């Protein structure tokens, strides 16, 4: 079996008791190539955890194993401390929300919501009350008699969410639930889902490839790449303190400056970039002098002009775009790297011309040196 890097350190769900635990879970379809490699992570009670990553990274397969639609090749999944892997999907008691809504077209909205209650043999007297309460949660009170085809896409997705909530599960799985909606509606429903989560305290595991969506919704995000989790952390830490070059490049916009780590003192080191410029940066754990690294700097952390105590790179201006609240510039470094900077429009912006030499500066604490081999 072809092995890739496995996650060996468990990513704990902050201080919350674990609702779900993946314990060294791997998955292969052909017996040779692992699509999930040694996944170990805890999901806290009441947490909103998002599986984020590019297509083929393993995020959906992990969710499908949790749902019971796929079986791990090795390892174990636990729910509330009990082994869960061999429990069939219909006995797991989970709520599901999928991109295609999966509503029954021949049933009314109320009947769609009543169905999971009837399957669980909830007394008929309670079903109507629970259905009405669920519809109110998603702002669809009064829509119970309509058929799914009489609703907009956003309304159908609200019904799908209500159906997942109606029998009050402790865990809800959402697989790209907003992917089929337009941008404005998607953003609106993101905040509605976030509001529901905060009010109900239910545990949600969410899959998306949309970084902005993950940042908006999540308590923590697990960033998948080639079958394992590169980093699992709160959105702010993923953005400000990426642990790998992949995470730095995948989460938000990022400048990548290749070079070699020449000296190391504590968490800080000097990196000689292509073009013989040296910069001071915070270094990822495990780096040693001589390592090939990429220095990650966010565009909004770049400033025009030299600053005391900051790194400065002289570059040739190739493009500038005025965007009202900021000026976006692209400049070429001596080593041939294109660097993007976002200059805020606080007190007016400087007059620049193409091919001007501009000094771009950034603080050492805003630069992170990460192992280049992990990019």
CB 143 within 8 A of CB 189: no
Which residues neighbour 317 within 8 Å (Cβ) at sequence distance 6 or greater? 329, 330, 331, 352, 353, 354, 355, 356, 357, 358
CATH 3.40.50.300 domain locations along the chain:
18-240
Which residue, chain included where needed, has tokens 């052909």? 30
Q: Is the dihedral of CA 40, 44, 45, 47 positive or negative?
A: negative
The C-alpha atoms of residue 341 and residue 327 are separated, in whole angstroms, by 8
What is the fold of 256-374? OB fold (Dihydrolipoamide Acetyltransferase, E2P) (2.40.50)
Is 93 strand, coil or helix? coil
153-165 vs 124-137: helix crossing angle, rounded to 10: 130
Q: pLDDT tens, position by position, for the chain (375 residues)?
A: 333 333 333 444 545 678 999 999 999 999 899 999 999 999 999 999 999 999 999 999 999 999 999 999 999 999 999 998 889 988 888 999 987 778 899 999 999 999 999 988 889 889 999 999 999 989 899 999 999 999 998 899 889 999 999 988 889 999 998 887 888 888 888 998 998 899 888 999 999 999 999 999 999 999 999 999 999 999 999 999 999 999 999 999 999 999 999 999 999 999 999 877 899 999 999 999 999 999 999 999 999 998 889 999 999 999 999 999 999 999 999 888 899 999 999 877 888 999 999 999 999 999 999 998 644
Beta bridge partners of residue 270, listed in sequence order:
263, 280
| Res 357: pLDDT | 94
Neighbour-count burial for 146-169, b at 16+ CB within 10 Å, e otherwise: eebeebeebbbbbbbbbbbbbbeb
Parallel, antiparallel, or unpaired: how do β-strands 203-208 and 357-362 relate? unpaired
The C-alpha atoms of residue 16 and residue 5 are separated, in whole angstroms, by 28
CATH 2.40.50.140 domain locations along the chain:
256-374
Beta bridge partners of residue 319, listed in sequence order:
330
| Res 373: pLDDT | 62
CATH of 18-240, one of 1.20.1250.20, 3.40.50.300, 3.40.470.10, 3.20.20.10: 3.40.50.300
| Res 281: pLDDT | 97
| Res 98: pLDDT | 84
Q: Is the pTM of this model over 0.85?
A: yes
The C-alpha atoms of residue 320 and residue 341 are separated, in whole angstroms, by 10
Give the count of beta carbons closer than 10 Å to the beta carbon of residue 336: 9
């Amino acid at each position: 079996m072809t092995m890739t890097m496995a996650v060996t350190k468990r990513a704990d769900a902050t201080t919350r008791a674990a609702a779900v635990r993946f314990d060294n879970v791997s998955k292969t379809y052909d017996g040779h190539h692992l699509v999930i490699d040694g996944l170990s992570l805890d999901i806290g009670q009441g947490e909103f955890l998002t599986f984020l990553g590019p297509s083929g990274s393993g995020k959906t397969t992990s969710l499908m194993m949790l749902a019971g639609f796929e079986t791990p090749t090795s390892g174990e999944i636990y729910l509330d401390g009990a082994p869960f892997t061999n429990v069939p999907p219909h006995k797991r008691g989970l709520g599901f929300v999928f991109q295609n809504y999966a509503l029954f077209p021949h049933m009314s909205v109320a009947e769609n919501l009543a169905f999971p209650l009837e399957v669980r043999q909830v007394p008929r007297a309670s079903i109507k009350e629970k259905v009405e309460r669920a519809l109110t949660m998603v702002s669809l009170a009064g829509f119970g008699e309509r058929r799914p085809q009489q609703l907009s896409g956003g309304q159908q997705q609200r019904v799908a969410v209500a159906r997942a909530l109606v029998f009050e599960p402790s865990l809800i799985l959402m697989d790209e639930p907003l992917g089929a909606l337009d941008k404005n509606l998607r953003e609106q429903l993101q905040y509605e889902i976030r509001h529901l989560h905060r009010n109900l305290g239910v545990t949600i595991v969410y899959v998306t490839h949309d970084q902005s969506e993950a940042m908006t919704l999540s308590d923590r995000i697990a960033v998948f790449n080639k079958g394992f989790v590169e980093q699992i952390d709160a959105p702010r830490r993923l953005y400000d303190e990426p642990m790998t070059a992949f995470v730095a490049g995948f989460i938000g916009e990022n400048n990548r400056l290749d070079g070699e780590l020449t000296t190391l003192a504590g968490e800080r080191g000097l990196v000689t970039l292509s073009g013989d410029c040296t910069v001071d940066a915070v270094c990822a754990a495990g780096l040693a002098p001589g390592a090939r690294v990429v220095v990650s700097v966010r565009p909004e952390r770049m400033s025009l002009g030299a600053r005391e105590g900051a790194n400065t790179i002289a570059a040739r201006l190739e493009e500038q775009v005025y965007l009202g609240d900021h000026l976006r510039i692209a400049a070429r470094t001596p080593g041939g790297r294109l660097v993007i900077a976002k200059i805020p429009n606080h007190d007016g912006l400087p007059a620049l011309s193409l091919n001007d030499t501009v000094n771009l500066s950034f603080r050492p604490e805003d630069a992170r040196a990460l192992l280049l081999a992990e990019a």
